[in-house]
Amino acid sequence: MQFFGFHLMPYPYLPDEHRRSRDSTWVTLSNRHFDPARGHQLYQRYLAELVRYDQAGFDGICVNEHHQTGYGLMPSPNVVAGLLVPQTRGKIAILGNAVSLRDHPLRVAEEVAMLDVISGGRIISGFVRGIGAEYHTFGLDPTQSRERFHEAHDLIVRAWTEPGPFEWYGRHYKLRYVNPWPRPLQQPHPPIWSPSQGSAETVDWAARNRYTYLQTFSDLGTIGRAFSEFREAAQRHGYTSSPSQLGWSVPVYVAGTDTEARREARVHLDYLFNTLLRMPRDIFFPPGYLTLRSAPRVMGAKRGLGAGPVDPDDLLERGFALAGSPGTVREQIDRYASELGFGIFSGVFQFGSLGHEEFERSVQLFASDVMPALRGAATTLPG
């Protein structure tokens, strides 16, 4: 088992009137609610927490990209990764660059290659489309999201692996000269991860390309289904996938006892799921962002993300988050790993409004009392 520590860098100071409202925390929540002075302190703390994962013996740390929201203060994961390179020794997983949102995917090819060369080959490159809300943010046609993603990915991988200059003439990008300096250090290119909530198209794409698939924000049933589909897709594409190609990303809170852990986790899960992730469904899933096959199910669902408040206890029951004593959390991860077949565990130890002291204690307990026992199932990262 490989362990990663993920940080979303949430803004914990949203005013009570917003928390009590039904208003979106994405796209339209006024940035007058962002206090730059408190933001300065927050960034220092969050960067230190990411470094803490590395010091505590995690295999790597994870950062991601989101825009115009109190959910996360990382519009540029590459900037954060750049700050962390000199302060860490393990892997840095960028999960991911939202390549479809970029005017120019070559900028991602360049930035990730820079980070890979500077870090001595410690970068894992995640590629995502960006969530639906971000198509509102950038005024980008959501119906073109998948096409842009695939073309941008193909262009970036080719730019990393084929000596330039060469011409790229695609539907969305037309370039006379593709020839980025620097090229990545890892050969043929940094490992590529595909974070997703389990869309059938993404699962198949990741399996076909032999990438690592990371399941985020899902219940155990969805995770099990997606991982099975991944293994089946791998067989269909002519190989047997390895557990090291499957990762589970989940908020985790470890405390002295189960009761204490669950009591404290509830408060911050409530803030994460019912305030930070709150947005109307038509902002979450703009027209054409989902395929016509999956849109009716998601848009017509009576529950699920974008459909109103959720109960933190229910989230814990269904595996959206883990909270417990070290023994309980260890037993859960061990059991789910053998049931679901994943070899990468990515814990979000700071979530919602969880404070620094709680984070410290939780990470410490996890590193000393959870991780070592589970190392037995160690797998190696592909490529």
Cα 103 versus chain centre, distance: 22
N- to C-terminal Cα separation, the chain = 16
CA 345/CA 289 separation, integer angstroms = 28
Per CB under 8 A, the list member of 57, 75, 288, 304 interacting with other proteins is 288
Say whether residue 300 binds other proteins (CB under 8 A): yes
CA 371/CA 377 separation, integer angstroms = 11
CB atoms within 10 A of CB 188: 11
Q: Of the listed pieces 30-38, 291-299, 354-362, 370-378, which binds other proteins according to CB under 8 A?
A: 291-299
Helix, coil or strand: residue 65: coil
User: Closest by alpha carbon to 347, among 234, 214, 239?
Assistant: 214
Q: How far is the CB of 136 from other proteins (least distance, A)?
A: 7
Q: How far is the CB of 289 from other proteins (least distance, A)?
A: 8
Alpha carbon of 340 to those of 119, 298, 371: distances in Å?
33, 24, 18
Per CB under 8 A, the list member of 51, 118, 175, 299 interacting with other proteins is 299
Q: How far is the CB of 285 from other proteins (least distance, A)?
A: 10
* Between 19 and 281, CB nearer to other proteins: 281
CA 361/CA 358 separation, integer angstroms = 5
* Between 144 and 197, CB nearer to other proteins: 144
Q: How far is the CB of 295 from other proteins (least distance, A)?
A: 5
CA 283/CA 278 separation, integer angstroms = 10
Say whether residue 37 binds other proteins (CB under 8 A): no
Per CB under 8 A, the list member of 17, 292, 357, 376 interacting with other proteins is 292
CA 195/CA 212 separation, integer angstroms = 8
Q: For residue 124, list its beta bridge partners.
A: 93
Say whether residue 143 binds other proteins (CB under 8 A): yes
Say whether residue 41 binds other proteins (CB under 8 A): no
Q: Of the listed pieces 139-147, 159-167, 246-254, 339-347, which binds other proteins according to CB under 8 A?
A: 139-147
* Between 44 and 143, CB nearer to other proteins: 143
Which residues are at the interface with other proteins (CB under 8 A)?
Answer: 27, 135-136, 139-144, 280-283, 286-288, 292, 295-296, 299-300
